[in-house]
Structure 1
Amino acid sequence: MTKDESLTPLSDEREVRRASAPYQREFPYERDEEAQVARREFCRFLGFTSAAFFLSAVGFAAKSYWEAQRVPPFKPLRIEGAEDLQPGEALNFRYPTERDSAILVRAEDGNYYAYGQKCTHLSCPVYYERRHGRLECPCHEGAFDLKTGNVLYGPPPRPLDRIVLEVRGDGIWAVGREAGGGGRFGRLFVSDLSSERDGKCS
Structure 2
Amino acid sequence: MTDSTTKLDAFYDRDAPWRDELHAVRKLLQETELTEDFKWNSPCYTYDGGNLVVVWRLKDACGLGFFKGVLLTDPEGILQAPGEHSRSARVLRLTSLDQIAEHRDTIKAYIREAIEKEQAGLKVDFPKDDLDYPEELTERLEADPDLAEAFDDLTPGRRRGWILHILQAKQSKTRQSRIDKAAPKILQGKGMHDR
TM score, norm. by length of structure 2: 0.20
TM score, norm. by length of structure 1: 0.20
Greater strand share, 1 or 2?
1
The structure, 1 or 2, with the larger RCO (C-alpha pairs under 8 Å, 6+ apart) is 1
